[in-house]
Structure 1
Amino acid sequence: MVRFAAAGVTLGLAAGLLHAGSAVAEPVSCAPARSEVMSAAETPDLDWAEGLGYDGNGDLWVTRVRRNEVQRYDATGRITATVAVPSPGAIKLGPDGRMYVTYGNSLSNLTPGSSGGGVVRIDPDAAAPTAEPFADGLGMANGLAFGPGGELYVADTSAGIIRIRPDGSVDREWSSLARNFGADGLASDGDALYVTLYLSPTGRVLRVPIADPAHPAIVADLAATIGLPSLPDDLARTGDGSLYDATTTGHLVRIDPATHAACTVLTGGGMTAVAVPPGSYHDLLVATTRGDLLHVHLDS
């Protein structure tokens, strides 16, 4: 999510949004992760990295929300393509081999009923990639994940989770049942979605059954682990079933969805997104508000 406003404004919006009890597990500790800068920001802060995704060729795509563009990196860290996208959010590989990107990730679209956001897609194999319209009329479109049937889910911070059919049309009936204001990051898990609620006072993470979106379960409340404000941003699911969430308060948090236990594996500057490199089991890539990309080595 774009954080151009002060954290106090965010907390003011969050107050009173959720009244359900917190999901707090017994405190646990994590082995600290090691990190190194894989790619340094050319212009700190202007290079704010909002989303990360790998294409089918193993190339990395990074959304630069303040630059209004998406960048492709090869294995050596060299930028090989730049695509104009207004206020881009998350970027993920679709079942058709194209990269899907949310746009309109701006505070101007945070008001419920906003329609300045949407989704574009990019052919990563094109000689000169461009953004092709896929869906529009959304609000503050940010997180993105694909379901088992090829349907696309978007975390619209102003409205909740939006379900988009493979033809680009919005499934309004399903979406009306997933009204979670403040939705930010999304990760898929077979028949369910994990979503972070950036604007929740407890730093909440939910598990939303695709077959029953009106009845999500609380996975964790990160305030119990990292304090206030929590500001949980995008997240990723690893092969062992763990969730890793990046927070703009500067924590990389590991969450066990089965036990609700959460612990911090890395602290530092503001973090925005997490991706699992292809074929990796003990490494993550983490995007930052400064614009650096971090290679994180997890405890094996």
Structure 2
Amino acid sequence: MRRAWSARSSMMTSAFAVRSAAAGIGVALCAMASVVVPGTAAAQGPDCPAAAVYPVLPGSTPLDSAENLGYDADGNLWVSRVFRNMVQRYDSAGRITAEVAVDAPGAVRAGPDGQLYVVYGDSAAGLLPGAHDSGVVRFDPRADHPVPQRFVSGLGMANGAAFDSAGNLQVADTARGVVRVRADGSIDADWSGHTALPGVNGIVVQGDSVYTTLFASATGRIVRIPIDAPSAQTTVAAVTLGSVGVTALPDDLAAGSDGMLYNATTTGKLVRVDPAGRAGLCTVADLGVPVTAVTAVPGDDRSLLVSSALGGVLRIVLAPR
């Protein structure tokens, strides 16, 4: 699944340029990586309780960007290093215990079969005409030297991923929309034909619905897709920069134990969204660096992990509600 370095380098540069330009970031962000003080209250919206922020893994440079993260069934943390074409396994002390070669990896998700599923080809090259392969690989996360096997291929720019209760994998393909992949690796073309949403990015399944972010939408939309009626889509939130009304560039999504959705934004905010619309939307933490993904921490109802464009990982401890 490796391509020649020249082609890969070009895609890496294009993908980073898209994310950097969209977020308006520059060299100054390298200095921001050390701004977060352990345990300090983060910035918040008027109706959102303050969260505490703790460093878990240090950041370094944008070329070490942590594109996504997730846990396997044994509670080991896996982080996608999109520009280094690998996913890394960390133990509870933050030590790297395995590295698996995956081309431009995105979402990392534990499957119902105990395998770890990783999207590949998460590159801006997938938005352009031409030969570009993207899809999902899977491997045994317990192996000393995991070997990825292709699960599905032929996608455009696979980015986010989430399993539903029936074992289907919903893939947020930025180039094509939400793609439903059955447990045998075949694509449910009929279902997926109703979900050709532009610029999808993060995705999560909660109850009977799929929620996905439209990164490229002008108002930062988060859309609900009923699993049993995929054409009956509704917008549950517009993630914008305060009263300005400009998109906050919503990226990855996670579902909290409190029933809320948590959205990592490229503008550096972790945003809480009530999918039912009752509690509205507020900022949980303003991290001062683009955050790329968010995941719940197994066994800890109040904690989330977020990854950053500079390669770091932070723990967000939510205030009691």
Distance in 1 (CA, whole Å) between partners of 2:206 and 2:148 is: 27
* 2:277 match: 259
CA distance change for structure 1 residues 7 and 226 in 2, over 3 Å: closer, same or farther? farther
1:209 equivalent to 2:209? Answer no
Task: In structure 2, give the amino acid aligned to 1:4.
Answer: A
CA distance in 1 between partners of 2:274 and 2:129 (Å)? 32
- Correspondence 1:243 to 2:261: yes
1:297 equivalenced with 2:317 (yes/no): yes
- Give the Cα separation in 2 of the matches to 1:264 and 1:160: 27
TM-score by length of 2: 0.84
- Distance in 1, matches of 2:311 and 2:291, equals 9
1:4 Cα deviation after fit: 2.5
| Distance verdict in 2 for CA 1:94–1:6, change over 3 Å | closer
1:198 to 2:211 alignment: no
Deviations 1:270-298 (A, max 9, x none): 00111111111111100000111001111
- Count residues with an aligned counterpart: 284
2:126 is the counterpart of 1:126: no
- The aligned counterpart of 1:33 is 51
Q: Which residue of 2 aligns with 1:98?
A: 115
Contact 1:87 1:103 (C-alpha < 8 Å) held by counterparts: yes
Q: Which runs of 5+ in 1 are unaligned?
A: 12-26
User: Whose helix proportion is higher, 1 or 2?
Assistant: 2
Match of 2:298 among 275, 278, 295: 278
What is the one-letter code of the residue matched to 1:262? Answer: L
- 8 Å contact kept, 1:270–1:288: yes
Tell me the percent identity. Answer: 46
Shift of residue 48 of structure 1? Answer: 0.4
Q: Report the Cα offset of residue 134 of structure 1.
A: 0.4
Q: Separation in 2 of the partners of 1:115 and 1:287?
A: 26
Deviation at 1:68, TM superposition (A): 0.7
Aligned CA distance change for structure 1 residues 148 and 269 (closer, same or farther; 3 Å)? same
TM-score relative to the length of structure 1:
0.90
**Aligned residue number for residue 250 of structure 2:** 232
Which aligned pairs between 1:60-75 and structure 2 lie closer than 5 A? 60-75=77-92
SS at match of 2:64: coil
Pairwise mapping of residues 105-120 of structure 1 onto structure 2 (< 5 A)? 105-111=122-128, 116-120=133-137
Instruction: Please give the per-residue CA displacement for 1:233-280, whole angstroms capped at 9, x wherever unaligned.
Output: 001001110111000111100011112611001112100111111111
Going from structure 1 to structure 2, the CA distance change for 1:208 and 1:6 (only over 3 Å counts) comes to: closer
Distance 1:112 1:201, change over 3 A: farther
The letter of the residue matching 2:261 is L
Does the 8 Å CA contact 1:225/1:263 hold for their aligned counterparts? no
After superposition, the CA RMSD in angstroms is 2.0
Give, in angstroms, the shift of residue 229 of structure 1: 3.7
